[in-house]
Each structure stands twice: as structure tokens, then as C-alpha cells.
Amino acid sequence: MDINETLSEGLKRELRVTVPASELDERLAARLEELRGQVRLKGFRPGKVPPDHLKRLYGKAAMAEIVEKIVAETTRNALAERGEKAAMQPQVEMTEDEAEANEILAARADLTFTVNYEILPEFEVVDIKGVKVERPIADVSDEEVEERLQQIGESGRSYEEVKRKAKDGDRVTIGYVGKIDGEAFEGGTDDNTQIVIGSGQFIPGFEEKLKGLKAGDEKPIEVTFPQNYPAAHLAGKEAVFDVSVKEVAAPQEIKLDDEFAQRLGVESIEKVKEAVKSQLESEHGSVTRQSVKRQLFDALDEKHDFPLPEKLVEQEFENIWRQVLHDVEHHGRSFEDEGTTEEAARADYQKIAERRVRLGLLLSRIGEQAEVQVTEEEMQRALYEQVRRYPGQEDRVVEHYRNNPDAVQALRAPIFEEKVVDYLLELAEVTDKKVSREELLAAEEEDDHDHHHHHEHDH
């Protein structure tokens, strides 16, 4: 077997491998000898099938297996001998000429293939000991707990039928047929829908025009679909809805008492308040953690600059861009609506892809040097969390992870990342800063807008 390096440019490598036909023939003979003791053919005693007959029957399939094995073994061993780690699965290119391929499968021609890959870059991790990190902490106030309780109460508010005209806050049950240019349009008809006036759940202007109507009334309501309406064929169109009112119901007072708590399956309102406070503290903690991570990642990103594997960046960009296009389409927005252009947006997200790959490589190297381990117990707990999300399909979820190494890695990566962040926080100089809830949430919104704080991936 002959292996020659045909490209070494930056992180890119290409190897050209030649396996002589004589070696292929030897391997084929050995494989056929194995098969001779295993196959059962009519008219032949076990182990007595002539080699030529066996070769005619199984030679091509056996050689295809041998070629596949040689390619995998050679690629793996060559990288190990060269002391290189591939950033992604190496790409193998073989002949596409059918006649040539048949000659190889018959062991009459040398097997030649190329292996293309990018290596992981060599870099030194800069010491980040003493990096200043400010941890924003917001206490949960009684007002915040009450506000969340009101939201819970609102979602379970009861309504009672009234014999009067509808007003703000009432729940109106209607049937409607929506028409554009006199023609009913798809998805614009319903016999029985409930709308709370003032909730903003329907097209702007529609709910306002339900005021003053009572059960039995019929009325055409004219509205204009917003320009950014998700269904593109309706966006900006003028429509008329023929509405018939079936019921007007008034909102009943929300009583946040023990009876309300028991309807939620909790023994008392005090216990509900405790649970709500705990949930809010957890939410605040998540935002605080995200802010701390962003500061750490910013410091790491600022201190390191090294060449990145193009394919990794390309893959990361494609993942991000696919989501961006989905969001643009789903919300019926254009890049111009967001004050940018597609070209400028691509350039911005390209930088974000590069940042994510750089941070992923850094976190991986830091974790490796610090001997950060993800335990079996932590993986089991993460798997359990996934299984819980799909009641009735538990076996299928477990099977999916059992047969899919990439899915297992996706479970491991965020656990690994959090443990590396904990390690980095021990080295950093962390100071706590009391902030209001508004300041904390405003910082989170800024982070969201910046797009920089999403999970970086352990490669």
C-alpha cells in the first residue's frame, strides 16, 4: 500500500492512496476461504465448494466489503500515524468510471482513492485567570410573584353568559366567513370560535368591531391583514368577515385563594406563591448564568485568534442561516424590514459562525486540559429528560440515542460546556451586582438581539 500527501495548505490535507491489485487479490482469497466454511450450496458438501465457483457467486460483493474496509482502516490509521485529528469526517473520492470500478472489484486493477480533510488547528490557550466577570443578580419581589399569579389566574379565568352588548374584556363566541374580493378564502371560516375582546389574538381592528354586538347579531366586519402576516397570500389584503354572534360572556373575578390553589392541584395559595417564587428565581438564575457565560466567551474570543477549519465554519453558518431564513419567512418579514440587507446579514452571521467554531474548539481544548468529564450518571439524567418529553414513545427515544452517536453527542455537548464554564468561573474574578428585574431582563433582550450567546458547541 502506498500513501502520498498531495496537499498540505493551511489546515487542508489530501492523501492519495494506492492499494496494489495483488494485495486486493490476497484479501479476496482470504475472505472467500472464510466463506467456503460458512456457505451451504446445493450439490456441494460443506467446505468443499470450488474457489472459482465461490468467486463467481460472491467475489464482487466480498470485494466491495474489502474495499470499504480498506478505505476506513487506511483513513483512520494514516491520521493516527501522522498525529493529526480531522475536524470533520474525511471525504473519500474514488473512481466513478464503471469499467474501472469493475476491474478493481475483480482484483485486476489497483485501488486508488484520495482522502480530503481539514485538521484541527494547533493553538495555545491563553490564561484567563483574573478575567473580570460581573454577575447581575435580581431578587424576586412580592410584586413579581403577584404579577405571575395574576397571569396564571387570567389563563384559567371563567366567563359567564350575559344578555347584553359586548364590551372590552368580554368573551364573544362567533361564527364567521372571511372573504377577499367577495370570495371565501382558505382558513377564513369557523363555526365556533371564542375571542376575548382586547386580547389581541385576532387581526388588528377585528376585536374592536365586536364591541356593541349581542347574541343573535350578524355583521360584516372589514379589516386589512397586516403586511407581515405569516400567510403571505393574505398579507396586506383587505377582507370582509361575515360574523354571527352566538354568545357574549362576561369575565368573572379571579380569586387568588385556597380554592384557586386546589383547582391547580396545590393545597394552599401560600404553596402556590412559594412555587411561583421558586420558578421566578430559577428564571432569574438562568438569565444571570447566560450573562456570565457571555462575558466569559467574549473574553475567550477576544484573547484568541487562530485559523479555523473552513468546513466546520461552513456547516455552522448553514445551520444558523437555515434558521434565519425560516424566521424571516415565518414572520413574513424581509431583511429590509429589519434595517439591513441579505448580503449584510450573511456577513454578520458568517462572523457569528466563526465565533461559535472558535469558542467550540477553545472550550473543547480547555475541558481536555482540565480533564473535565461528563459522567455516565449525567448522561443518563439528560437522556431521562429527553424521554420525559415524549410520553408513550419512551422506547423509540431510547432506541434513537442507542443507534445515533451524533444524538448522544448533542446530549453531551451542553453538559460539557456548563462544566467547562464552571471551571473557568473558578479562575475568573467574579463580582456580584444587584440589579432590578427590569435591568436583568433588558440585558437578556440585548443578548438575544446580539445573537452571540447561544450554546457554543463542543466539537
CATH number at residue 398: 1.10.3120.10
Any domain includes 136: no
Query: Could you list the residue range(s) of the whole structural domain that residue 424 is in?
Result: 261-450
Residues 165 and 285 in one domain: no
Residues 92 and 199 in one domain: no
Single residue among 195, 222, 251 that ends a domain in this structure: 251
Q: What is the DSSP string of 67-80?
A: HHHHHHHHHHHHHH
Residues 164 and 235 in one domain: yes
Residues 246 and 268 in one domain: no
Any domain includes 339: yes
Rounded to whole angstroms, how far apart are CA atoms 246 and 193? 10
Single residue among 55, 87, 118 that ends a domain in this structure: 118
Segment 8-32 shows an average pLDDT of 93
Residue with cell string 474501472 = 100
User: For position 128, what pLDDT does the model report?
Assistant: 85
Total domains present in the chain: 3
Segment 12-23 shows an average pLDDT of 95
Residues 190 and 267 in one domain: no
Whether pLDDT at 111 is above 70: yes
Residues 279 and 378 in one domain: yes
328 φ/ψ angles, rounded to the nearest 5 degrees: -60, -45
SS3 of the chain: helix, strand, coil, percent, to 5: 50, 20, 30
Q: Is-contact 258 269, C-beta < 8 A?
A: yes
Residues 269 and 413 in one domain: yes
Residues 19 and 70 in one domain: yes
Rounded to whole angstroms, how far apart are CA atoms 191 and 246? 10
Residues 41 and 171 in one domain: no
What confidence tier does 145 reach under pLDDT thresholds 50, 70, 90? very high
Residues 323 and 444 in one domain: yes
User: pLDDT tens digits for 389-442?
Assistant: 888 888 999 999 999 988 999 999 999 999 999 999 999 999 999 999 888 888
Single residue among 118, 146, 174 that ends a domain in this structure: 118
Any domain includes 354: yes
Residues 85, 91, 97, CA angle at the centre, nearest 5°? 150
Any domain includes 107: yes
What nine digits make up the cell of 432?
A: 456580584
153 alpha-carbon distance from chain centroid? 33
Any domain includes 141: no
Residues 266 and 231 in one domain: no
Rounded to whole angstroms, how far apart are CA atoms 69 and 125? 37
Residue 267 DSSP one-character state: S
Percent residues over pLDDT 90 in the chain: 66
Any domain includes 134: no
User: For position 263, what pLDDT does the model report?
Assistant: 84
Any domain includes 326: yes
Could you give the 3-state DSSP secondary structure of residue 384?
Answer: helix
Could you give the 3-state DSSP secondary structure of residue 145?
Answer: helix
Residues whose CB falls within 8 Å of the CB of residue 367, separated by 6 or more in sequence, listed in order? 416, 419, 420, 423, 458
Any domain includes 223: yes
